[in-house]
Amino acid sequence: MTRYLCIALLVLLASPATTFAKSPPDVTQLTSAPTALDPDKAYLLFRSSRAKSGMFAIENVLLRIPEQAETEAFYAAKKLAFEKALPGLRKKQKDGTEPVIEQFPFEYDGPPNAFATKSSDFLVDGEVERTFLIEVPEGIYVLYGIAVGSRAIATCNCLGTVRFRAEKGVITQLGTLYADKVHKPSDIPHLEDNRGASMFQYSFILGQALVPATAGTEVPESLLALPRVLARFEPVQPFLEPGAASINRLAPIPGILEYDRGRVIALKKSAPVETPVAN
């Protein structure tokens, strides 16, 4: 199955059935606080609500926008696979037209650039929320959607979301992420509540919300001595994810992300913090 979610101008290069049987090799969820940060790694700190779908945890999906070299490697591998399969593809073309690489169902086995946060690998437990610290490569990350039990992307934020940059050698504070089923009333706050029972057809719809961190957001005591900055969020326009069972949008964020009849309104970026946050 295709594992490489590759966004170029936030249009996916990969095809459906995106699963998260394993995280990228350079992504580590920390269950204890480090005494020092790796200067070659970036760190994401956030809280997440606890909700389940049946027996499985509802989990957040993050995607890192690949660097140019990664995109080139993806296209090179796809071109090679397409050329190898071309004789067989021509035989299957009943109308006599020439196969095109854009319609080739390519399975990329290179390292993935998206992952679902595992609810069991947390830094601090809580009755309502858990705190997560994740070591990742530096880059631009997208709040991409929601998975169920870390298995596959169930609902993508295809109709609007946000992205942010994670720099090396510093903890980027995101805030609190909320996720739950939204075809019926939920006890999870901040989710858009205008879905109603009509949203439930052949499957449930999941929703996600973000409350960005501020300078006053509580931070685990074990991290207070480490350099931290607040994430600077930017709106992301609608994009395609053919592997998601359903699509939705990230709930509006005052001053950062709003919608006008479904159209994403690009508001000003959230205020950058140039120096480490101190509590």
pLDDT per position as a tens digit, 216-239: 999 999 999 999 999 999 999 998
Please indicate, yes or no, whether residues 75 and 206 belong to a single structural domain of this protein: no
Please indicate, yes or no, whether residues 94 and 217 belong to a single structural domain of this protein: no
Residue 151 lies in a domain: yes
Whole-number Å distance between alpha carbons of 99 and 108: 19
154 close to 64: Cβ distance less than 8 angstroms: no
pLDDT per position as a tens digit, 12-59: 344 344 666 566 889 999 999 999 999 999 999 999 998 887 778 889
pLDDT at 94: 81
9 close to 140: Cβ distance less than 8 angstroms: no
Residue 271 lies in a domain: no
Picking from 110, 131, 165, the residue at the C-terminal end of a domain is 110
Residue 40 lies in a domain: yes
Please indicate, yes or no, whether residues 83 and 151 belong to a single structural domain of this protein: no
pLDDT at 150: 67
Please indicate, yes or no, whether residues 27 and 77 belong to a single structural domain of this protein: no
Domain count, the chain: 2
DSSP string of 56-88?
EEEEEEEEEPPPHHHHHHHHHHHHHHHHHHHHH
Please indicate, yes or no, whether residues 141 and 23 belong to a single structural domain of this protein: yes
Give the range of the structural domain holding residue 104, as residue numbers without chain letter: 67-110
Please indicate, yes or no, whether residues 96 and 233 belong to a single structural domain of this protein: no
162 close to 236: Cβ distance less than 8 angstroms: yes
Q: What count of other Cβ atoms lies within 10 Å of the Cβ of residue 15?
A: 18
Please indicate, yes or no, whether residues 148 and 241 belong to a single structural domain of this protein: yes
Residue 225's alpha-carbon distances to 31, 203, 232, in angstroms, are 17, 45, 21
Cα three-residue angle 251-148-173, rounded to 5 degrees: 50
Q: What count of other Cβ atoms lies within 10 Å of the Cβ of residue 167?
A: 13
For the chain, list residues with pLDDT below 70.
1-23, 150, 193-203, 268-279
Please indicate, yes or no, whether residues 90 and 212 belong to a single structural domain of this protein: no
Phi-psi region of 165 (alpha: psi -120 to 50; beta: other; left: phi over 0): beta
Residues in Cβ contact with 80 at an 8 Å cutoff, skipping those fewer than 6 apart = none
Checking 189-195 for CB contacts under 8 A at 24+ apart, the result is 190/251, 191/251, 192/249, 192/251, 192/252
Residue 278 lies in a domain: no
Please indicate, yes or no, whether residues 144 and 25 belong to a single structural domain of this protein: yes
Residues in Cβ contact with 100 at an 8 Å cutoff, skipping those fewer than 6 apart = none
Residue 272 lies in a domain: no
257 close to 163: Cβ distance less than 8 angstroms: no
Whole-number Å distance between alpha carbons of 50 and 59: 9
Residue 185 lies in a domain: yes
pLDDT at 45: 98
Please indicate, yes or no, whether residues 146 and 234 belong to a single structural domain of this protein: yes
Residue 2 lies in a domain: no
Please indicate, yes or no, whether residues 88 and 188 belong to a single structural domain of this protein: no
Please indicate, yes or no, whether residues 98 and 40 belong to a single structural domain of this protein: no
